[in-house]
Amino acid sequence: MNLLGLKSLVTVAVGASALLSTAAQCPDYTSFSQKPQGSPSSGPLALPFMRPDPACRTFNSTAVEKVIVDMKARLKDPDLARLFENTFPNTLDTTVKYFNKTENLAFIITGDITAQWLRDTANQFAHYHTLLSTDKDLATLVKAVINNEARYVSQYPYCGAFQPPPESGLAPSHNDWADGVIVNPPVNNQTVFECKYEIDSLCGFLKLSRSYYQATKDTSFLNDNWYAAVDQIFRVIREQSQSTFDENFNFVSYYNWTGGNGALSPAVPNAGNGEPKLYTGLVGTHHRPSDDLSTFAFLVPANAMLSVELSHLADVLDSAKQAQNISQQARKYSSTIKKAIWDTTLVDNVFAYETNGFGGRYVMDDANVPSLLSLPYLGFLDKSHPAYVKTRKVLLSRNNPYYAAGKNFSGIGGPHVDAWHPWPMSQISAIFGTDNNQEILKSLYLVANNTHGLGLIHESISIYDAGYTRPWFAWANSYFAEMLLDLAQRKPHLIFKDGKPYVPGQ
């Protein structure tokens, strides 16, 4: 895959809080993030300052800078303060590859890969939502991201990663992993970077849309592009909830992806259609949020997220007094999916990660969100629900095939890397899923103590040695900062000097 550095300068429409990066000497952040920079923090970890020079940042926000100042003043651990200082602005510092206010378009990369993932982008901006009502330029950027994604989804609803918009003048990247992969319906690789169908990618688009509205109450994003995208999401829901065979054993296929030929996911069985499924009310998916192939089609945490976001979609439309028919359909889909999760995926009060409608169930979890461990974070259930408590116990143990523990790090990983590389993201999800102070602190410092002296959150960490993957992973950085802001409200006494709650923008 082609890697992007900040020496390839961002194109932006300049506003009060957005700066055009013009410095010719800006470093390649892929290389920058692999070596300690700046002066170390005063804590025992002595973590480096890993932000680019202000002139090299791809978007500057005064509201974001104020939150950093506020949190640094409150956090009692200087190493956590440095981690927040590095991670909270990382999306804006490094990933806004293109932004044009007039065109209402923005292109956001995931970090060291030159493509925009719907899922990653939603998560990269999740921790800024409380600032959108006060930072108009940041809100304008997010609206431009939504509009660009609406164009993608309306044209290719089964795809999750995309090339720059043509208006940007940026050249499309070549994805080596997609070479030789056949996708139906066919896609244009000048627009699509990778067409793995992951239902959570569509959830990410809905999440970004509703969080923007919740913060701003601005309805101008509800344009023709956006409604066309929602129409295509409903199409995918209808198509992928169907059984593999109809009543006459006609094979039903709306999307297939062959894999193989060096692609990260292996060749897909049944001519690229995956394992058969039987209607339950859940929506099938071919790939997980890790971009790995699903074992069974009904990915439970992705369906949980879909149910939640469809309900939010209806709330947005009702509040905006628009498209009552779409709102009603969204609530119907949400209710059907939620009921199917509770009726068909629980055994002995433990959720399956995947099911197929025939009785097959895979009890495991993957670090990538949506995951079973992240169900409270997604808003699907309360962290005290007995089914979650019992499932969580299974997931954080040897009973989860992708849980691994070593001397210095432990957590949940997945097949995207390998079984002995758990992801820090899983420990962040674990924090969102508990109110136990000891559990929170244990998970928090497992992450903080394992940045390999770089002060950024990695993709995965080996349980055997000092190995890790992806030094620059904007989603993981954003998720960590979002978690600290959650603790700032929910458990301020654990992390703050004065123990008083803090909410950005308030």
pLDDT in tens, 315-356: 999 999 999 999 999 999 999 999 999 999 999 999 999 999
The pLDDT of 440-447, averaged and rounded, is: 98
Q: Answer yes or no: is pLDDT of 438 > 60.
A: yes
The H-assigned helical ranges of 35-108 are: 62-74, 78-87, 90-94
The pLDDT of 460-467, averaged and rounded, is: 94
Beta bridge partners of 460: 469
Angle separating helix axes 62-74 and 78-87, nearest 10 degrees: 170
Q: What is the pLDDT of residues 124-183, one digit of tens each?
A: 999 999 999 999 999 999 999 999 999 999 999 999 999 999 999 999 999 988 888 889
Record the pTM: 0.94
106 phi and psi angles, rounded to 5 deg: -145, 145
Q: What is the pLDDT of residues 269-291, one digit of tens each?
A: 898 999 999 999 999 999 999 98
pLDDT at residue 7, rounded to an integer: 34
**Percentage of the chain modeled with pLDDT above 70:** 94
3-state secondary structure of 361: strand
pLDDT at residue 259, rounded to an integer: 80
Other Cβ atoms closer than 10 A to 176: 12
The pLDDT of 451-470, averaged and rounded, is: 95
**Percentage of the chain modeled with pLDDT above 90:** 88
CA 43 to chain centre: 30
Task: Output the CA torsion 409→44→73→211 (10° steps).
Answer: -20
Residue 391 makes CB contacts below 8 A (sequence gap 6+) with 349, 350, 351, 372, 375
pLDDT at residue 24, rounded to an integer: 52
pLDDT at residue 262, rounded to an integer: 64
Q: What is the pLDDT of residues 5-26, one digit of tens each?
A: 333 345 444 333 443 444 458 9
CA distance 346 to 341: 7
Does residue 490 or residue 24 have the better pLDDT? 490
pLDDT at residue 19, rounded to an integer: 39
* Contact indicator for 94, 472 with CB cutoff of 8 Å: yes
pLDDT at residue 111, rounded to an integer: 84
Residue 396 makes CB contacts below 8 A (sequence gap 6+) with 373, 403, 412, 430
Q: What is the pLDDT of residues 55-112, one digit of tens each?
A: 999 999 999 999 999 999 999 999 999 999 999 999 999 999 999 999 999 999 998 8
